[in-house]
């Protein structure tokens, strides 16, 4: 016996009452929950507790009348009893005596199809009686078929796994106790003490069995009176010290038991002294098994008898079994509230042990837990609250482990159990928070919706877990055969997950949280948003993978938001709080930003190409048949390729981003045009500086001596400075520039058509996609128009004043007028006109010739009004000059094949207005000049005419023009006037 005690003590840390109850709960089924009750601190096994609980059951069920308890088990032969030999066969009279003397235990079992308790719990009764007894304890002779227990007592024995041998000993002991203490109630007896006094070592022949039996009873006394007494002990309690010494002494030397042993008398004295104590000092009960948690461990063993040993279902005879259990309440200190709690935990535990497939047990546990919730609101018993807290925490811990990742726990095959599990988890949480939590009681209850809060926690936790799993799966799906970006795969999976959540789980969770779907998709939105944010932060360029991810993210976001909106239509705020929880991914903005970077890179590349290429462009007319620059063809090709690449981008917002691209391309083309005309100068670049005013030397037959060289006007040199054959400002090169700008201008229209076609073909195209879009290269169009105009003028004035300058200044009207007429100029102009007509595009040809005509007229007029001191004209020369000018006009009219007559007339109007001044006599010119000067200089001093400024706008009504006619008049009157008025010299 001492050996057994030592081994038990050595294993007490791991084999205490808590693990014993857990072992008893899980016997015959799957793994159950850990016991919610505190450890006993005494090494009592599950078998020890079951046998002790059975003793309490039988003792509490015995009659209190005068008839003896003579129950004999229903077996072919009774098991060996206290005398050591086999019992005699049971007789009909003795069985009858047993049935009548203990009606509670001996009541015959009937069909329980109409069980009130099962109906209350929502359980169905068996369709027919079981074919055999529950469990394995009731097996008869070897090879005999299992038999059904005939009485409640037999059912309880089998359910509690008590052997017939042990049952016989217990009943024999109770008969002896009843005989010695006739009429005494079980509540007033210390059963372990009474059994120790009724049996001695000789009554149990097997020494090991006797030691184990004695050890169990002493441990029960230790647990009930020393470790967990109902009434707390004083440290100086003599009886407690004595009892500890007796139990400790039994470790080394077995205790001598039996009625008359001295050791038993000492033990009885100590035990009864401790068991008889009460809070109020008066009690006829014996408090040896009603202290927490020993009574709960014992009662839980009794509650386990409500469940079939084979399949874990509630027995059909539950009503009769419950009647028996209630009889033990007096001994164990159990009340209805504790019973409800223990039974609720047992129902739920057996559901767990069933592998979570017995939905009836789950439903019963849910109904029973509703009773526990009612009880929790009506009591403030601290002991009950502790047990309630530990029990519900055990249940809630199991449910939350599954509900915090319900996507892993539940699927279409077991989804029906989710409703009950959620209900139980929420109910447990409510009781724990609302009825036990002191912090909660100090606050206003309406501030916290426990159920909604728990459901939201389950949803968010489960969805985050599911999201993490989908991320791993998405990563594993991508391979060399499937190059789809991970986030694209993930977005698709999350979309499927959201649909599954909405259809499978949310209908259940909506019972407690009306926005279950919304919370779920908001959580998924946040999880994916975190990944997307990191992805976007690392983007540097637009790639097909990038666009695929961002488009998938945009689609996912729209799907999630739609679910949230649908779910929150009837909510108080219309779902605004949920939508606020879903900040936009800005996927389209991210795509737009990347496209803008893409556009900038290509525009910058294009501009760099323009800068490099036009520095090397020679404007060679032999480069192609069209007489256009190869760089222009290449430039337009690159622009077209950029547009093609843009429309091939797999993005959903081509119309939105097109203006950015068009503006960049427009600026690049404008840059090309600007470079193409830069360096060519303007008309003013080739206009000569006018020589100083002089007067003619009258009286000499020759206007100048042979040895004198003409004094030509000074020129503003070409900005390019080259005059060799590679001159980029030579006439052919200038014609190529003109053609290039005209060619580009025409191609811009083709590009605009290309853009409209591209827009209609993109995936985001709509019927009116081009409506409202200003698809024009306005900057380049304007630059081309201005450039063509500038190049026409530049070409004309460069040809007139630079290429033909020697004719104008060195030949025309130098010396004898009749011998230096305009024919030489016409001969020089003719090949120039042929060059322009043959090279320049027909759409700008007339503009170029018109500009040349105007420049020629300006040069002709400049010879007459600013030709220098070597030129002098008489009134008679006017007719020659008029004839020459007519010939010059005829050159451009070309007998009707040239420019339109009205255009020529308009261009020649200025010269035509000036020519009459050449026929006017000098006196009239002087009078006219004085009159105009007087009108324009009213404040000037009399007899003093200021020199009129040179404006360059020649007109017969402009003083400087009239003055210049006088300066070149070979006439004494004119010379004297100029000498007297302005003292003009005769030569420069």
Q: Is the pLDDT of residue 701 over 80?
A: no
* Structure token pair of residue 127: 């369709």
| Position 510 pLDDT exceeds 50 | yes
Q: Specify if 68 maps to a domain.
A: no
- The token duo for 693 is 């005013």
Which residues does residue 314 pair with via DSSP β-bridges, in sequence order? 307
Q: Is the link from the previous residue into 581 a cis peptide, with omega within 30 of 0?
A: no
Please check whether residues 810 and 661 belong to one and the same domain. yes
pLDDT band at 851 (very low <50, low <70, confident <90, very high): very high
Q: What is the CA radius of gyration of the chain?
A: 60
Q: Which two tokens stand for residue 440?
A: 């909660």
Mind listing the pLDDT tens digit for each residue in 893-918? Answer: 998 899 999 999 999 999 999 999 99
pLDDT tens per residue across span 430-486: 999 887 765 444 454 445 688 999 999 999 999 999 999 999 998 888 776 677 899
Q: What is the pLDDT of residue 88?
A: 32
DSSP 8-class letter at 779: H
Residue 754 has pLDDT above 60, yes or no: yes
Q: Phi/psi at 346 (nearest 5 deg)?
A: -65, -45
The pLDDT of residue 25:
52
User: What is the distance between the alpha carbons of residues 760 and 276, in angstroms, rounded to a whole number?
Assistant: 99
From the DSSP assignment, how many helices (H) and strands (E) are in the chain?
41, 0
> What's the confidence (pLDDT) of residue 729?
84
The answer, yes or no, to whether residue 279 has pLDDT greater than 80, is no
Both 580 and 600 in one domain: the answer is no
pLDDT tops 70 at residue 426: yes
The answer to whether residues 546 and 494 touch, using CB atoms and an 8 Å cutoff, is: no
405 domain residue, yes or no: yes
Helices (H), 767-876: 778-798, 805-810, 823-839, 842-866
Q: How many whole angstroms separate alpha carbon 350 and alpha carbon 21?
A: 13
Rounded to 5°, angle at Cα 714 from 711 and 718: 140
pLDDT band of 772, cuts 50, 70, 90: low
Most confident listed range (89-103, 363-377, 447-461): 363-377
- Residue 184 to residues 55, 62, 173, 271, 285, Cα–Cα distance (Å): 16, 11, 15, 18, 11
Higher pLDDT, 827 or 150: 827
What pLDDT shows up at residue 568? Answer: 83
Q: What is the pLDDT of residues 328-365, one digit of tens each?
A: 999 999 999 999 999 999 999 999 999 999 999 999 99
Residues 770 and 895 in one domain: yes
CA 140 – CA 148 distance, rounded (Å): 11
CB atoms within 10 A of CB 112: 20
Query: What pLDDT, in 10s, does the model give residues 518-562?
Result: 999 999 999 999 999 999 988 888 888 888 899 899 999 999 999
Q: Is residue 81 part of a domain?
A: no
**CB-based contacts of 733: which residues, under 8 Å, 6+ apart?**
618, 619, 620, 621, 727
- The last residue of one of the domains, among 879, 895, 914, is 914
Q: For position 731, what pLDDT does the model report?
A: 94
Same domain, 899 and 787: yes
Judged against a pLDDT cut of 60, whether residue 769 lies above it is answered with: no
Structure tokens at 313: 């279902």
Other CB atoms within 10 A of residue 764 CB: 12
Q: Which pLDDT score, from 0 to 100, does residue 7 have? A: 42
If you average pLDDT over residues 153-175, what whole number do you get?
93
Distance CA 396, CA 428 (A): 6
Q: Per the structure block, which two tokens stand in for 826? A: 């016409």
pLDDT value of residue 709: 44
Amino acid 107: pLDDT: 56
Q: What is the pLDDT of residue 102?
A: 52
Count other Cβ atoms within 10 Å, centred on residue 2: 14
CA angle 427, 310, 361 (to 5 degrees): 20
Residue 945's pLDDT band (cuts 50, 70, 90)? confident
Give the pLDDT score at 284.
63
Question: Of 330, 57, 257, 70, which is closest to residue 178 (Cα–Cα)?
Answer: 70
Residue 10 parent element (H or E): helix 2-10
Q: Is the domain of 572 the same as that of 623?
A: no
Q: Is 203 helix (H, G, I), strand (E, B) or coil?
A: helix
Axis crossing angle, helix 294-303 with helix 318-327, rounded to the nearest 10: 160
Decide if 748 is inside a domain: yes
Q: Please check the confidence at residue 423 and state whether its pLDDT lies above 50.
A: yes
Instruction: Give the range among 320-324, 563-567, 763-767 with minimum mean pLDDT.
Output: 763-767
Question: Is residue 52 scored above 50 in pLDDT?
Answer: yes
Is 76 inside any structural domain? no
The pLDDT of 195-204, averaged and rounded, is 90
Per-residue pLDDT at 879 exceeds 80: yes
706: in domain:
no
Q: Quick one: pLDDT at residue 78?
A: 36
Q: Are 225 and 247 in contact (CB under 8 A)?
A: no
Please tell me the distance from the alpha carbon of residue 188 to that of residue 170, in angstroms, as a whole number: 18
**Cβ-contact 112, 127 below 8 angstroms:** no
* Final residue in a domain of this structure, among 914, 941, 962: 914
Is the pLDDT at 142 greater than 80, yes or no? no
Residues shown for the chain: 988
Confidence band for 627, pLDDT divided at 50, 70 and 90: very high
Q: How far apart are CA 889 and CA 896, in angstroms?
A: 12
For the cut 60, the answer to whether the pLDDT of residue 959 exceeds it is: yes
12 domain residue, yes or no: no
**pLDDT reported for residue 104:** 54
Who's near 937: CB < 8 A, 6+ residues apart? 945, 946
Q: Looking at the structure, do residues 653 and 555 belong to the same domain, yes or no?
A: no
Least confident of 418-422, 628-632, 771-775: 771-775
Q: C-alpha angle 903/908/912, rounded to 5°?
A: 140
Name the pLDDT band for 750 (thresholds 50, 70, 90): very high
* CA distance linking residue 884 with residue 918, whole number of Å: 14
Query: What pLDDT digit, counting tens, does each position of 927-941 carry?
Result: 999 999 988 876 554
| C-alpha span between 715 and 687 (Å, rounded) | 7
CB 865 within 8 A of CB 914: yes
SS3 content of the chain, % helix, strand, coil (to 5): 65, 0, 35
Confidence of residue 256 (pLDDT cuts 50, 70, 90): confident
Total of domains in the chain: 5
Provide mean pLDDT across the span 48-53: 96
Examine the domain organization and report whether 770 and 870 are in the same domain.
yes
Structure tokens at 329: 């309440």
Exposed, middle or buried, 65 (CB in 10 Å: 0-12/13-18/19+)? exposed
End-to-end CA distance of the chain: 151
Given a contact cutoff of 8 angstroms between Cβ atoms, the answer to whether 693 and 963 are in contact is yes
Q: Residue 56: its pLDDT value, please?
A: 96
- Whose structure tokens read 């967990």? 228
> Above 50 in pLDDT, residue 705?
no
- Give whichever of 58-67, 260-269, 299-308, 566-575 has the largest mean pLDDT: 299-308
Question: Residue 210 domain-assigned?
Answer: yes
Average pLDDT, stretch 828-856? 95
Q: In this structure, are 945 and 921 located in the same domain?
A: yes
Q: What is the dihedral of CA 316, 320, 322, 327, to 10 degrees?
A: -160
3-state secondary structure of 513: coil
Contacts of 532 (CB under 8 A, 6+ apart): 487, 549, 553, 585, 587
Task: Please give the pLDDT value at position 520.
Answer: 96
* Average pLDDT of span 572-598: 86
- Rounded distance between C-alpha atoms, residue 796 and residue 792, angstroms: 6
Mean predicted lDDT score pLDDT of the chain: 84
User: Which of 5-14, 162-171, 758-767, 927-936 is the least confident region?
Assistant: 5-14
Answer whether 427's CB lies under 8 Å from 369's CB.
yes
Cα–Cα distance measured from residue 59 to residue 187, given in angstroms and rounded to the nearest whole number: 9
> For residue 18, what pLDDT band results from cuts at 50, 70 and 90?
low
Structural domain boundaries, residue 419: 335-438
Tokens of 919: 């026929």
Residues 937 and 943: beta-carbon distance below 8 Å: no
| One domain, residues 285 and 198 | yes
More confident residue, 321 or 99: 321
Q: Based on the fold, state whether residues 824 and 961 are members of the same structural domain.
A: no
How does residue 1 score in pLDDT terms, banded at 50, 70 and 90? very low
Least confident of 133-142, 674-683, 760-769: 133-142
Asked whether 854 and 903 are in contact (CB, 8 A), the reply is no
Kindly state whether residues 502 and 461 are assigned to the same domain. Answer: yes
Say if CB 564 and CB 518 are below 8 A apart: yes
pLDDT band per the 50, 70, 90 thresholds, residue 139: very low
Lowest mean pLDDT of 444-458, 678-692, 867-881, name the range.
Answer: 444-458
Q: Report the C-alpha gap between 221 and 235 in whole angstroms.
A: 18
Residues 239 and 160 in one domain: yes
Would you say 193 and 287 are in contact if contact means Cβ atoms under 8 Å apart? no
């Amino acid at each position: 016996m001492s050996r057994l005690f030592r081994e038990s003590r050595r294993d007490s840390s791991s084999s205490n009452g808590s693990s014993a109850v857990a072992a008893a709960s899980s016997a015959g089924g799957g793994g159950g929950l850990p016991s919610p009750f505190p450890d006993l601190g005494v090494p009592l096994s599950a078998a020890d507790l079951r046998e002790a609980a059975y003793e309490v059951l039988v003792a509490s069920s015995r009659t209190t009348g005068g008839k003896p308890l003579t129950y004999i088990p229903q077996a072919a032969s009774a098991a060996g009893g206290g005398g050591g030999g086999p019992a005699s066969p049971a007789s009909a009279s003795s069985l009858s005596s047993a049935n009548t003397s203990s009606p509670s235990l001996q009541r015959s079992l009937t069909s329980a199809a109409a069980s009130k308790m099962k109906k209350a719990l929502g359980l169905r009764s068996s369709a027919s009686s079981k074919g055999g007894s529950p469990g394995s304890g009731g097996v008869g002779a070897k090879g005999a078929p299992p038999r059904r227990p005939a009485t409640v007592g037999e059912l309880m024995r089998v359910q509690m796994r008590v052997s017939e041998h042990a049952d016989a000993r217990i009943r024999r002991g109770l008969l002896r106790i009843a005989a010695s203490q006739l009429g005494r109630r079980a509540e007033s007896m210390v059963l372990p003490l009474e059994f120790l006094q009724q049996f001695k070592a000789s009554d149990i022949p097997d020494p090991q069995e006797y030691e184990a039996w004695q050890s169990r009873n002493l441990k029960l006394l230790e647990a009930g009176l020393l470790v967990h007494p109902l009434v707390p002990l004083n440290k100086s309690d003599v009886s407690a010290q004595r009892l500890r010494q007796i139990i400790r002494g039994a470790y080394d030397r077995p205790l001598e038991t039996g009625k008359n042993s001295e050791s038993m008398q000492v033990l009885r004295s100590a035990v009864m002294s401790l068991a008889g104590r009460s809070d109020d000092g008066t009690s006829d009960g014996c408090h040896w098994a009603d202290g927490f948690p020993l009574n709960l461990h014992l009662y839980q063993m009794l509650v386990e008898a409500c469940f079939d040993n084979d399949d874990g279902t509630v027995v059909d005879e539950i009503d009769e079994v419950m009647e028996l259990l209630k009889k033990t309440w007096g001994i164990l200190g159990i009340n209805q509230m504790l019973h409800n709690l223990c039974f609720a935990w047992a129902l739920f535990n057996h559901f767990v042990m069933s592998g979570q497939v017995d939905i009836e047990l789950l439903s019963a546990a849910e109904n029973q837990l509703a009773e526990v919730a009612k009880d929790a609101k009506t009591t403030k018993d601290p002991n009950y609250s502790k047990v309630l807290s530990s029990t519900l925490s055990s249940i809630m811990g199991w449910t939350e482990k599954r509900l915090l990742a319900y996507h892993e726990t539940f699927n279409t095959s077991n989804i029906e159990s989710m409703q009950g599990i959620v209900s139980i988890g929420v109910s447990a949480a409510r009781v724990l928070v609302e009825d036990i939590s002191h912090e909660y009681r100090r606050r206003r209850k309406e501030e916290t919706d426990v159920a909604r809060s728990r459901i939201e926690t389950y949803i968010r936790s489960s969805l985050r877990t599911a999201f993490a799993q989908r991320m791993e799966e998405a990563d594993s799906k991508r391979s060399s055969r499937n190059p789809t970006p991970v986030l694209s795969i993930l977005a698709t999976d999350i979309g499927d997950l959201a649909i599954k959540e909405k259809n499978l789980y949310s209908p259940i969770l909506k019972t407690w949280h009306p926005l279950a779907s919304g919370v779920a998709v908001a959580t998924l939105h946040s999880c994916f948003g975190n990944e997307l944010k990191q992805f976007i932060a690392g983007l540097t360029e637009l790639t097909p993978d990038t666009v695929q991810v961002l488009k998938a993210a945009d689609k996912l976001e729209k799907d999630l938001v739609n679910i949230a909106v649908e779910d929150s239509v009837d909510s108080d705020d219309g779902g605004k709080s949920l939508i606020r929880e879903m900040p936009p991914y800005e996927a389209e903005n991210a795509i737009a930003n990347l496209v803008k970077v893409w556009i900038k890179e290509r525009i910058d590349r294009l501009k760099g190409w323009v800068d490099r290429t036009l520095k090397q462009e020679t404007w060679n007319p032999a480069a192609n048949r069209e007489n256009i620059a190869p760089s222009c063809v290449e430039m337009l090709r690159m622009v077209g390729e950029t547009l093609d690449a843009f429309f091939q981008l797999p993005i959903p917002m081509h119309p939105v981003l097109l203006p950015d691209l068009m503006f960049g391309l427009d600026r690049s083309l404008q840059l090309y045009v600007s470079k193409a005309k830069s360096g060519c100068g303007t008309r003013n670049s080739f206009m000569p500086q006018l020589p100083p005013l002089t007067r003619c030397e009258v009286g000499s037959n020759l206007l100048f001596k042979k040895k004198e060289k003409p004094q030509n006007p000074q020129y503003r040199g070409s900005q390019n400075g080259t005059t060799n054959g590679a001159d980029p400002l030579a006439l052919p090169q200038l014609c190529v520039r003109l053609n290039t700008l005209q060619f580009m201008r025409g191609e811009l229209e083709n590009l605009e058509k290309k853009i409209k076609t591209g827009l209609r073909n993109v995936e985001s195209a709509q019927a009116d996609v081009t409506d409202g879009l200003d698809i024009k290269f306005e900057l380049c169009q304007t630059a081309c128009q201005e450039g063509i105009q500038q190049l026409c003028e530049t070409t004309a004035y460069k040809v007139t004043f630079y290429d033909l300058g020697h004719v104008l200044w060195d030949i025309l009207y130098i010396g004898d007028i009749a011998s230096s007429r305009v024919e030489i100029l016409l001969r020089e102009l003719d090949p120039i006109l042929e060059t322009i007509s043959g090279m320049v595009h027909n759409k700008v040809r007339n503009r170029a010739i018109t500009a040349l005509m105007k420049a020629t007229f300006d040069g002709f007029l400049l010879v007459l009004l600013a030709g220098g001191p070597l030129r002098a004209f008489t009134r008679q020369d006017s007719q020659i000059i008029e004839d020459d000018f007519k010939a010059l006009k005829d050159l451009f009219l070309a007998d009707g094949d040239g420019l339109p007559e009205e255009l020529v007339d308009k261009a020649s109007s200025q010269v035509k207005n000036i020519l009459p001044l050449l026929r006017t006599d000098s006196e009239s010119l002087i009078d006219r000049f004085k009159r105009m000067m007087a009108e324009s200089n009213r404040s000037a001093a009399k007899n003093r005419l200021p020199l009129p400024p040179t404006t360059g706008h020649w007109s017969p009504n402009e003083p400087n023009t009239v003055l210049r006619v006088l300066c070149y008049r070979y006439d004494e009157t004119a010379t004297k006037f100029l000498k007297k008025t302005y003292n003009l010299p005769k030569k420069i």
